[in-house]
Amino acid sequence: MFKLFLCFITVLPVLVFCDEEETRIVGGSNAPDGAVPYIVSISQEYGGKLHHICGGSIIDKHWILTAAHCFRQEFTPTVVAGTNNISKGGKRYKVGSIIVHEKYLKYKPEYNDIALLKLSTEIEYTEKIQPVELTTEDPKPGTVCILAGWGYVDKDRKKRATDLQIIELKTISKDCRRMSKVDRKQNICTFTKNGEGACQGDSGGPLVAKASKKQIGIVSWGVPCAYGSPDVYTSVYAYRDWINKHIKK
């Protein structure tokens, strides 16, 4: 599974998902420049550099949608938008507040895995920085989707992505429901084949329906990375009321 527990590298409080429950894109390809203008990197600064922690999506000029488990360990996030290469370029934004779902529990991180970041300053939209529309319908099994992220690109976690990776996946129903800890109302799942899927570093990133171009999911967990099992996402449709309640305050 995409590990929803925290590890530590040296003495730095970096969020690293451990062996079994990881989130990255494996089997994808480099995204064309500007093809995913709604995706952001949620990063942590230390040593004078930004280090990618999770993905997220722009849903409003002040708001970023992501996963709650990205904030199980406290850190000060910086949002980077408008670049495919996380080592350079892009526009940086400070985060004013973090709203984690009130029913999210650290010891049950598979449930209510959703969070919002309110930025300190308004996002300036450009050709490469745009919001994504949120779905108003529960996606049907077989929906073709686009997933993007900067996580690991190999199943053995030896190579991280510097350039944004993108992959086409499909939602499934029956096989996913057999997995433990999957809630049929809170979660949706994708699966294509062994060697393709999400893993470490893709947590919180957006799953978008290819036809409607609307976000339907948020990368949450899986068993394990791209080894022939489904990836599990928080369903955007299931949390539309929760999202709207906070961003409209």
Residues making up the chain, counted from first to last: 249
Task: Give the residue numbers spanning the domain of 205.
Answer: 133-238
> For residue 22, is it within any domain?
no
> For residue 13, is it within any domain?
no
Question: Given 43, 52, 69, 229, which residue is catalytic?
Answer: 69
Give the N- to C-terminal CA distance of the chain in Å, as an integer: 35
Question: Given 113, 202, 229, 235, which residue is catalytic?
Answer: 113
Is there a single domain that holds both residue 172 and residue 218?
Answer: yes
Candidates 243, 181, 220; CA nearest to 22 is 220
Band of residue 201 on the pLDDT scale cut at 50, 70, 90: confident
Residue 150 maps to which CATH number?
2.40.10.10
Is there a single domain that holds both residue 214 and residue 147?
Answer: yes
Question: Given 43, 57, 203, 220, which residue is catalytic?
Answer: 203
pLDDT for the residue 116: 98
Is there a single domain that holds both residue 222 and residue 178?
Answer: yes
> For residue 58, is it within any domain?
yes
Is there a single domain that holds both residue 140 and residue 59?
Answer: no
CA angle, residues 217, 223, 224, in degrees to nearest 5: 105
Please indicate whether residue 62 is annotated as part of the active site.
no
Question: pLDDT tens across 34-88, in order?
Answer: 999 999 999 998 888 899 999 999 999 999 999 999 999 889 999 999 999 988 8
> For residue 21, is it within any domain?
no
> For residue 17, is it within any domain?
no
> For residue 86, is it within any domain?
yes
List residues bridging with 126 in a β-sheet: 129
Please indicate whether residue 113 is annotated as part of the active site.
yes
> For residue 25, is it within any domain?
no
Q: In the chain, how many domains are there?
A: 2
Please indicate whether residue 69 is annotated as part of the active site.
yes
